[in-house]
Structure 1
Amino acid sequence: MTIHVLGEVPIGDLDQFLAVFSTDGLAKRQEHGCSGATVLSPIHESGRVVVILEFADEQSFQAFRDDATAPPIMRRGGAQGPPTFTVLQQVGSYPH
């Protein structure tokens, strides 16, 4: 069952974050079975992004989270601190 992970990351420069997130970060996420990612930026707030990640299961996400090579990639992308993660399961979907 696919899980979603809500991540919040304090960042410096948005362009720097996106450049690394879409290259080295993508490769690292794919290595652990991440099948999709959406990056959102609060409209009236800078210095933070919200990321929604899709993983096959919680074990795949934990492997990503525990990978010691991931934090240096995040720092290279301008992360100003560690992300906070919330693991979510879908309990309903209502097309509009």
Structure 2
Amino acid sequence: MLLATTKVVDVDRFIQIFSTKGADKRRLHGCKGATVFRDPSEADRVWALFDWDAEGWKNFVSDPEVPAILHEAGHVGKPQAAMLIGNYGA
């Protein structure tokens, strides 16, 4: 699993691209799914939890076609991955 955050120009536009072109590109790099959250304290920030391993994420962000997709989705800057520090059963 991988958690990432980014600011976006428009959340609806982001979701439209994230769920189509973005999903197609993520699948090519082994992503099995994603869940998106809106940050209640920042209306222009989204969080995404990906069913993805670190190698798939690395390949995705290195793909030369990804920056154009991020731009079309309205990303403000690059997505930042959160560091997993633990996984607990309850």
Flag whether TM exceeds 0.5 (same fold): yes
TM-score by length of 1: 0.84
Measure how far apart 1:86 and its partner are.
2.3
- Among candidates 8, 11, 15, match of residue 8 of structure 2: 11
Instruction: Select between 79-88 and 8-17 the one with higher mean Cα deviation.
Output: 79-88
Detail structure 1 runs of 4+ shifted over 2 Å in the superposition: 86-94
Instruction: Tell me the percent identity.
Output: 32
* Deviation sequence 1:18-76 (CA, Å, 0-9, x none): 00000000000000010110110012421110111111x32122111211111110110
Q: Aligned partners of 1:52, 1:41: CA distance in 2, in Å?
A: 12
1:36 to 1:89, Cα distance in 2 relative to 1, 3 A: farther
TM-score by length of 2: 0.89
Question: Which secondary structure does the structure 1 equivalent of 2:50 belong to?
Answer: strand
Q: CA RMSD in A?
A: 1.6
Q: Where do 5+ consecutive residues of structure 2 fail to align?
A: none
One-letter code aligned to 1:76: E
One-letter code aligned to 2:43: S
One-letter code aligned to 2:51: E
